[in-house]
Copies of this chain bind each other. A is one copy, B any other.
């Protein structure tokens, strides 16, 4: 974008651009399956770890209810999953896969390799990158929370 910005603002722009570019790769792969990237993340959780409450998905994917609620509704409408109120706590909703939802997993078999190829970085670089991103996200999230509670500077 630029050359005279402070380093951290340039980084943020690169992060923003990189994230969108990765999503666009997922789009190419997932569109034939009728899934978006966030939807794929939900399906991944269910395939790997079985039934989850909406709250667990919120925590694990770091998305909000207001993003997940309609997203789950769409996945349910497509017949991939079912939402069921918990009998022991009527506030909670358990999300569970249908047979069709389970069957879809097979069609995603080649996704990880395709992503790995598209990224084109070797594992050592990826590991470093990942650690830096996690630190960054953790710092930023904490900072944002703190800043918005403190009205004053």
Contact = CB atoms under 8 A, between A and B. Distances in A.
B137 A8 contact: no
A21 B141 contact: yes
A1 B37 contact: no
Interface string A1-42: 110111111111111111111111111110000000100010
A98 interface: no
Given A22-B15, A143-B118, A144-B118, A9 B112 contact: yes
Given A118-B144, A140-B22, A16 B2 contact: no
A14 B117 contact: no
A138 B26 CA distance: 15
Interface residues of A, number: 67
Interface stretch (A72-80, A82-90, A121-129): A121-129
Given A13-B41, A18-B137, A136-B18, A116 B6 contact: yes
A140 B118 contact: yes
Interface of A: 1-2, 4-29, 37, 41, 44-45, 48, 60-62, 111-121, 123, 125-130, 132-137, 139-141, 143-144, 147-148
B21 A19 contact: no
A112 B7 CA distance: 9
Contact of A8 (B6, B41, B126): B126
